[in-house]
A and B are shown apart, each in its own frame.
Chain A
Amino acid sequence: DQQVKQNSPSLSVQEGRISILNCDYTNSMFDYFLWYKKYPAEGPTFLISISSIKDKNEDGRFTVFLNKSAKHLSLHIVPSQPGDSAVYFCAASDASGTYKYIFGTGTRLKVLA
């Protein structure tokens, strides 16, 4: 059973508009969440994180929102730029001390110029 789900495999957004990428999880023990961005032929790179003690974290154009009761997080990119076109993965970890992250399947974002 997939513990971290990204139900939208792809998303297209016009340049300058908002991109919203969604992620759902099933394990209530997850307490730390990450978003990674991946370009073709490269490894994923860290984008932004959020701890379960917060419901929002912002870094420039990127904001992550966490709704613990709904077990849902989202990544907002405003304004979207063509260079944001990539695959975005969300990942979650629990406090068990194993330092392992469970990843979703990814959402391919295409920002149209």
Chain B
Amino acid sequence: ETGVTQTPRHLVMGMTNKKSLKCEQHLGHNAMYWYKQSAKKPLELMFVYNFKEQTENNSVPSRFSPECPNSSHLFLHLHTLQPEDSALYLCASSPGGNGYTFGSGTRLTVV
């Protein structure tokens, strides 16, 4: 149990579908993050939330829509994705200082 739980673990969706990824942390952290990991690329920061407020959007296309209803939950709403969006999506949380705790990720395949 890492303290950061991501669901689902795997997701296959068509390009016209709408789906959501969920992240929940039980660590009392105030900052939450979405990262994308594609093959042979660095972990790419997508969004940062601090005390439920979005503090960073790293030029992410609007087909990815984050939502942070409270400091413990983070969602990533997906719609009209492209096959190149297939990747591992990682959620992380932080107490606002040194380092993250990551979830296990959602392996997304867009067909």
A and B assemble together: yes
By a beta-carbon cutoff of 8 Å, the part of chain A in contact with chain B is: 2, 4, 9, 32, 34, 36, 41-46, 49, 89, 91, 98-106
Interface of A is mostly: loop
- Do residues A99 and B96 form an inter-chain contact, with CB atoms below 8 A? yes
- Do residues A43 and B50 form an inter-chain contact, with CB atoms below 8 A? no
In the assembled complex, the Cα of A43 lies from the Cα of B43 at a distance in Å of 11
Instruction: Point out the residue from B35, B43, B97 that lies within 8 Å of A99, measured CB to CB.
Output: B97
In the assembled complex, the Cα of A9 lies from the Cα of B101 at a distance in Å of 24
B interface, size bucket: 20 to 34
By a beta-carbon cutoff of 8 Å, the part of chain B in contact with chain A is: 2, 4, 6, 31, 33, 35, 40-43, 45, 48, 50, 55-56, 90, 92, 94, 96-105, 107
Residue of B at shortest CB range from A105?
B42
- Do residues B31 and A99 form an inter-chain contact, with CB atoms below 8 A? yes
In the assembled complex, the Cα of A32 lies from the Cα of B99 at a distance in Å of 9
